[in-house]
Structure 1
Amino acid sequence: MSSSRTGTARLARLALRRDRVQLPVWILSIAALGAFAASAIGTQYPTEADRLAVLRVAVETPGLLIFRAAPTGTSDGQMTVFGILAILALMAGFMSTLAVVRHTRQNEETGRTEMIGATAVGRQASLTAALAVVVGANLALAALIGLTLAGNGEPAGGSFAAGAGVGAAGIAFAGIAAVAAQLTQGARAANGMAAAAVGTAYLIRGLADAFGDVQPNGYTMTSAWPSWLSPIGWTLQLRPFAGDRWWVLALPLVCFAITTAAAFALAARRDVGTGLLADRPGPTRASAALLGPLGLAWRLQRGTLCGWAVTIVAFGLVVGSIGNAVQDQLMTNENVRGRLDDLAGGGGHEAMDSFFAAMMATIAVLVAGYLVQALLRARAEESSGRVEAVLATATGRLAWLGGHVVVATAGAVAMLGLAGVTIGLVYGASAGHLGGQIRHLAATAYLQLPAVLTLAGLAVALLALVPRISMGLTWFAFALSFVLGPYGTLFGVPETVRAISPFSHVPSAPAEATAAPIVAMSAAALALGLAGLATFRRRDLVG
C-alpha cells in the first residue's frame, strides 16, 4: 500500500512547471516594490525634520494609518516599514492563496486530480506538494526582500526581519487557503473565501494601527490589541529596524501548522471533487431569465457582487465617519494637507477634495478587484468545460461572453455609485448639506469609472488572447495598478512609471476633470474589450 504522500516530489515539480512564470513574477515584483520604496525614502524625506513632520501628520490622522502602518521611528528602515511593509504582506497573501487554490481545488474542479489519482499517488500528495511550493516561494520572497533592503544600506538584521515578516504572512495565508479549498466545491469560491481572509486581516491591522496609542514623543505609536489577531499585523509586530522581535514569527508558523493540520483532516473526510460545504440545491424549474446569456451571467456573478458590495459599504461607512476628524486636521495642519494632496495625485486641491479623492481612488481599486473576479468567472466556466454545453445551444460566443461583460460592468457602475452615496450620507449627515455632499461624492466616485473599465478591458483581452495564463496576468495587472496608481506618489514612483496604471490618470476632483484622460481611458477600455470579444469569437475553447 502506498503512503498517503507518495508522489509529492513529482507533483511539486509539476506545480513549479505550471507556475514557472507566475510565481517568479509575483516574487520579483513584490521584492522590487519594497526595494523601490526603500530607495525613495531619502528623496521623499531628506531631513529629520521632514520625517518628524510626516509622522506627526500620520499619528494625528487615523484614516491614513489604515493604508500605511503605525510609525516606529525616523530611520530609513523604519520609514520603509511605515510606508510599504503592510502592502508587501498583503501582496504575499494574495500570491499564496491564489497558488494554493490553483494547485488543489482548481485541479479537482478541472478533473486533473482524479486523473493523477489513478496513478501511484497518495491521497495527501497534492495538498502537500501545493503547500511545499508556496512555502518555498515565500521563503525565496523573504530572502530576496532581506537582500534588497540590506543592499540598499539598511541594517541586515532589520532587513531580514522585514523579509521574514512578509514571507511568514504569506505562509500563514497559505494554510488558510488550504482550509478554504477543502470547504468549497469550486476554485472561485475558494479564492473568494481566501481573498476575504486576506482583506479582513489587512483591515483589522489597519484599524488597529489607526486607533493605536501615540507615544509621548508625539510621532511613534503602539498598535491596538486587534493587530495581534491579523497575520499582516504580525508582520508589523515583528518591528523590523525597531527591536526585531523574532519571537513573533512563532505566531504565523503556529497558524500555518494549525490550519494545515485542519486542511489535511478535512481532506480525509471528503470525496475528491466535493467540498464539505455542499452547494444548495436549486429550484426544480429554472427561471425564464436563465434562458438568455445575461440571466445566466447574473446568476453566476450575483454572489460575487453581493460580497464586494458589502465590503464597499463597510469601507464607505469608515471613510464617511472619519471625515469630520480629518477636516479638523486639515484646517489646522498644513502638513496634513500636503500629504493628502500627494495621495490624491498632487495639484493643490481643496483640502477635503484631496481626502475624498484619495479614498475614492482606493475604493476604485476595490471595485476593479470585483470586476476582475467577475470577468474571470467566464474563464472558469470555459476551463471547466461548462461553456461547451451553453454554446451547443442557440447562444453565440459573443452573446455568452458579452453577457458576462455587461453584468460585471453594470455591477461596477452600481458599486461606485453605492460608495459615493454611502460616504455622502454619513459625512453629509454630520457636516451638513446632505444632498450636496451626496451629489459631489457620487461625481468623485464616477470619475474613477474609466480607469476601472480600462482594467476590465484588459481582463477581457487577456482572457481571449492568452486564456491559460489570463488569471495570473490579470491579477498581476490589478496589483500593479493598485500600487502604482493610488500610492505611487507616496512611494516616490516616477511619473513615467506611474503612467502604467490607469488610476494615475484619473482627475483628482470633479471641478478639475478634463475630457482628455477620461476619453483616452474610455477609448482604451472599449478597444481592449472589442479586441477580446473579436479574438474569442475566432479561437478554440481552451480547457
Structure 2
Amino acid sequence: MTGTWALLRVVLRRDRLLMPLWIVCLAAAPLGYLSSIEAAYPDAASRQHFYDLNASSATFVVRNGPLYGSSAGNLLAWQCGFVPVVVGLVALLTVVRHTRAEEEAGRRELTGATAVGRHAGLAAAVLAACGACLVYGLVVAAGLAAQGVPVAGALALGLGFTSSGWVFAGAGAVAAQLTWGASGARGIGIGGLVLAFLLRAAGDSSGSASWLAWLSPIGWAHRLRPFAGEQWWVLAVGVLATAVFFGTAVLLSARRDLGAALLPARPGRATAKASLRSPWALAWRLQRGTLVVWTGCLALIGLLMGGVAQNVADMMRDNRAVADVLSRMGGGGAVTDAYLAGTMTLFGLAAAGYAVQATLKPRAEEAAGRAEPVLATAVGRLGWASAHWLIALAGSAVLLAVTGLATGLAYGTGASLVPAALAQLPAVWVLAGLAAALIGFVPRFAAAAWGLLGAFLLLSLVGTALRWNDVVLGISPFQHLARLPGGAFSVTPVLWLVLIAAAAGALGLIALRRRDIPVG
C-alpha cells in the first residue's frame, strides 16, 4: 500500500470541483424535503392522515421503502428513500473512474512505475469515495439537526446514506477487476445497484419475504430506522460488507495483470461489418448500450410513478399545501395534473443526465486515445462529433417518449402522457448543447456539464419548493417549459430553448474543429 496517501491526494485534487458539487447538491435535497414537509403538514393530525394513506400503499413502499411513523422525521426519512441509491451510484462511479478508467487510459501504468504499491491506486480510490460519502452523511445530519429535528435521527439518516455509499464503493472496486473496460465495470456495478433496489423493494412490499430486504445495502439504510428507534448496530453490517468487498477486490487485483481482467474479452471480428463503416454507425455502436440502460431504468420508474398517481391525488385533495408545492413544480389546477406535471419535470432532468453522458462520449474517446486513430482516416471531426451529439438529441427524445408511455400505461391513460414528457425535450437539448460547447472550448472542464445539471436540479426541486426568486429560478431552462398535463402550451419558449441548444452545440463543434486533439 506504499504511496496510498500520495495517490489519495491526486484523486482529491482531480475531483476538487466535482466532489464538493455532488455533496452540496445532494445534501440540499433532504434539507429541502424537510422544509416542504413542515410547510405541508404543520400539525400531528395532518401527518397522521398522510401516514394512514401511504403506509400500506404497496407502490409507495416499493418506491420509497417502509414508513415507520407519522412524525416529521419519519416522513422525511421515507421521502429520502431513493437517496441511498443515488449515493451508491456516485460512489461506485467514483471508484471505477479512478481505477479501471485509469488503467484503460494508460495512466495507471505510469504511476505504477513509481514507488507505489500494487494496490495503492485501488485503496486511494476507495478511501476517496468513502470519505466523500462520510462527509455527505455528516453534512446532511448537521443540516437537519440545525432545523430542529432530533439529533439521533438526523445522524442515523445521514450515516445510513454513508453506509450505502461505502458498500457500493466496495462493489465498484470489485467490478473494476472483472472487465476490460470502464464501461463494463460501470455496467456490472449499476446492475448490482439495480438488484439491490429490487431486493429492497421486494422485501419491503412482501411481509412473508421481508428477509429479502436484509440482502440489500439499500435495505440496511432503511433498517437503521432513523427517527423510529434507531438500530445503530445495522451500521456494522455496512462496514463489514465494505471490508469484504474491498478485501475481495484486493485479492482479485493480485490475480490479474495490469490492464487485464478476470472475465475474458469476447473476440472481435477480423473486419468491421458494412453497417459499422461510418462515424454514425460507430457512434451508435458505442452509445446504444447506454441508451438501453437509461430507457429501461426510467421506464421502470415511470411505471412506479404512474401507479401511485391516484393515491397522490387522494392525498393532495385533503392537503392544499402539498398541491401548491407540486403545482409550483408544474401543472395546472387539477391535483392529478400537478403531480403528473411535476413527475414529467423529474423525468426531464433524468433525460438531461442521459443527454450529458451521451454528449460527453467524444471527450471520453479523446481522453482515452481512441479518437486519434479514427480521425487519422477520412473521417472528419465534425462528422465524428456531431454523430454522438445527434444520437444524444434523438436518444433523449426516445427516452422521454418511452418513459411517458410507461407512466401513462401505469396510470391507465395509455399514450396520453407522451406529449407531456416530450415537452421537456427543449430543456434537455439545452444541456446537450452546453455540454458540446464545453467540449469544444474548454475540454479539460467538460465534466462541468454535470455541475450545470446539478444546479438545474437544485433549482427545480428545492428552489421551487422553497419559493426562491423567479429570476434565480429562471436560470434553469426547465422553468420555461409548459407545465403539462394541465398547463397551457406556448411555442415561443420552445423555439428560444431550441435556438439556444442549436447555437451552443454548433459553436462547440466549430471550436472542436479548430482546437488540438487530444487535449489532456
- Do they fold alike, i.e. is TM over 0.5? yes
* Structure 2 residue corresponding to 1:174, chosen from 169, 175, 182: 169
Question: 1:320-365, CA deviations, whole angstroms, 9 ceiling, x for partnerless residues?
Answer: 6x37xx4477479723897467436355444544444344344334
CA separation of 1:509 and 1:16: change in aligned 2, threshold 3 A? closer
SS of the aligned residue for 2:176 comes to helix
Instruction: Describe how 1:118-133 pairs up with structure 2 within 5 A.
Output: 118-133=113-128
- Give the whole-Å Cα distance in 2 for the aligned partners of 1:309 and 1:131: 29
**410-419 or 9-18, which moves further after superposition?**
410-419
**TM-score (structure 1 length as normaliser):** 0.85
- 1:11 paired with 2:7, answer yes
**189-198 or 297-306, which moves further after superposition?**
189-198
- 1:37 paired with 2:33, answer yes
CA separation of 1:338 and 1:161: change in aligned 2, threshold 3 A? closer
**Structure 2 residue aligned with 1:243:** 229
Shift of 1:526: 2.0
Contact 1:188 1:377 (8 Å CA) reproduced: no
**Structure 2 residue aligned with 1:521:** 497
**309-318 or 114-123, which moves further after superposition?**
309-318
- Give the whole-Å Cα distance in 2 for the aligned partners of 1:426 and 1:310: 15
**Structure 2 residue aligned with 1:80:** 76
CA separation of 1:195 and 1:521: change in aligned 2, threshold 3 A? farther
Shift of 1:78: 2.7
Contact 2:40 2:319 (8 Å CA) reproduced: no
- Give the whole-Å Cα distance in 2 for the aligned partners of 1:296 and 1:30: 35
**What amino acid maps onto 1:86 in structure 2?**
G
* Structure 2 residue corresponding to 1:377, chosen from 358, 361, 365: 361
- Give the whole-Å Cα distance in 2 for the aligned partners of 1:441 and 1:427: 10
**Structure 1 residue aligned with 2:95:** 100
* Structure 2 residue corresponding to 1:478, chosen from 450, 453, 475: 453
**136-145 or 120-129, which moves further after superposition?**
136-145
Structure 2 unaligned runs (5+)?
none
Contact 2:95 2:173 (8 Å CA) reproduced: yes
Shift of 1:279: 3.2
CA separation of 1:502 and 1:55: change in aligned 2, threshold 3 A? farther
Question: 1:179-224, CA deviations, whole angstroms, 9 ceiling, x for partnerless residues?
Answer: 1111222223323433343455445545655x377xxxxxxxx995
Instruction: Describe how 1:531-542 pairs up with structure 2 within 5 A.
Output: 531-541=507-517, 542=519
**What amino acid maps onto 2:264 in structure 1?**
A
**Structure 1 residue aligned with 2:275:** 289
- Give the whole-Å Cα distance in 2 for the aligned partners of 1:147 and 1:270: 43
**Structure 2 residue aligned with 1:399:** 383
Contact 2:330 2:341 (8 Å CA) reproduced: no
- Give the whole-Å Cα distance in 2 for the aligned partners of 1:37 and 1:332: 17
Shift of 1:132: 1.6
**Structure 2 residue aligned with 1:343:** 326
Shift of 1:300: 1.0
**Structure 2 residue aligned with 1:157:** 152
SS of the aligned residue for 1:295 comes to helix
CA separation of 1:58 and 1:500: change in aligned 2, threshold 3 A? farther
**What amino acid maps onto 2:4 in structure 1?**
T
SS of the aligned residue for 1:246 comes to coil
**Structure 2 residue aligned with 1:219:** none
SS of the aligned residue for 1:509 comes to coil
**Structure 1 residue aligned with 2:132:** 137
**Structure 1 residue aligned with 2:370:** 386
**Structure 2 residue aligned with 1:433:** none
**Structure 2 residue aligned with 1:432:** none
**Structure 2 residue aligned with 1:457:** 433
CA separation of 1:354 and 1:537: change in aligned 2, threshold 3 A? same
**176-185 or 24-33, which moves further after superposition?**
24-33
- Give the whole-Å Cα distance in 2 for the aligned partners of 1:192 and 1:456: 23
- 1:229 paired with 2:197, answer no
**What amino acid maps onto 1:419 in structure 2?**
T
Shift of 1:384: 0.8
The percentage of aligned residue pairs carrying the same residue is: 41
**251-260 or 417-426, which moves further after superposition?**
417-426
CA separation of 1:89 and 1:10: change in aligned 2, threshold 3 A? same
- Give the whole-Å Cα distance in 1 for the aligned partners of 2:212 and 2:483: 33
CA RMSD of aligned residues (A): 3.1
SS of the aligned residue for 1:454 comes to helix
SS of the aligned residue for 1:89 comes to helix
**What amino acid maps onto 1:391 in structure 2?**
L
**What amino acid maps onto 1:292 in structure 2?**
S
Shift of 1:297: 0.5
Contact 2:138 2:159 (8 Å CA) reproduced: yes
- 1:413 paired with 2:397, answer yes
**TM-score (structure 2 length as normaliser):** 0.88
**What amino acid maps onto 2:384 in structure 1?**
W
**What amino acid maps onto 2:504 in structure 1?**
L
- Give the whole-Å Cα distance in 1 for the aligned partners of 2:214 and 2:401: 35
**Structure 2 residue aligned with 1:25:** 21
- 1:509 paired with 2:484, answer yes
Question: 1:250-299, CA deviations, whole angstroms, 9 ceiling, x for partnerless residues?
Answer: 22212212211221122112221122233322222212333321111011
- Give the whole-Å Cα distance in 2 for the aligned partners of 1:127 and 1:78: 38
**Structure 1 residue aligned with 2:444:** 468
Matched residues, number: 516
Contact 2:174 2:248 (8 Å CA) reproduced: yes
Contact 1:57 1:336 (8 Å CA) reproduced: no
* Structure 2 residue corresponding to 1:299, chosen from 280, 285, 304: 285
Shift of 1:381: 0.3
**112-121 or 348-357, which moves further after superposition?**
348-357
Shift of 1:127: 0.5
**328-337 or 357-366, which moves further after superposition?**
328-337
CA separation of 1:314 and 1:139: change in aligned 2, threshold 3 A? closer
- 1:334 paired with 2:310, answer no
**What amino acid maps onto 2:174 in structure 1?**
V
- Give the whole-Å Cα distance in 1 for the aligned partners of 2:441 and 2:188: 28
- Give the whole-Å Cα distance in 1 for the aligned partners of 2:450 and 2:110: 28
Question: 1:121-158, CA deviations, whole angstroms, 9 ceiling, x for partnerless residues?
Answer: 21111101111222222222222222222222222222
Structure 1 unaligned runs (5+)?
214-221, 429-436
CA separation of 1:525 and 1:230: change in aligned 2, threshold 3 A? farther
Contact 1:107 1:113 (8 Å CA) reproduced: yes
- Give the whole-Å Cα distance in 2 for the aligned partners of 1:395 and 1:149: 54
**Structure 2 residue aligned with 1:187:** 182
**Structure 2 residue aligned with 1:434:** none
Question: 1:45-91, CA deviations, whole angstroms, 9 ceiling, x for partnerless residues?
Answer: 322233233333433655455554533334343333233x3344333
**What amino acid maps onto 1:231 in structure 2?**
P
Shift of 1:376: 2.3
- Give the whole-Å Cα distance in 2 for the aligned partners of 1:223 and 1:246: 23
**Structure 1 residue aligned with 2:348:** 364
**Structure 2 residue aligned with 1:271:** 257
- Give the whole-Å Cα distance in 1 for the aligned partners of 2:444 and 2:340: 39
**Structure 2 residue aligned with 1:258:** 244
Contact 1:330 1:351 (8 Å CA) reproduced: yes
- 1:494 paired with 2:468, answer yes
SS of the aligned residue for 1:182 comes to coil
CA separation of 1:136 and 1:317: change in aligned 2, threshold 3 A? closer
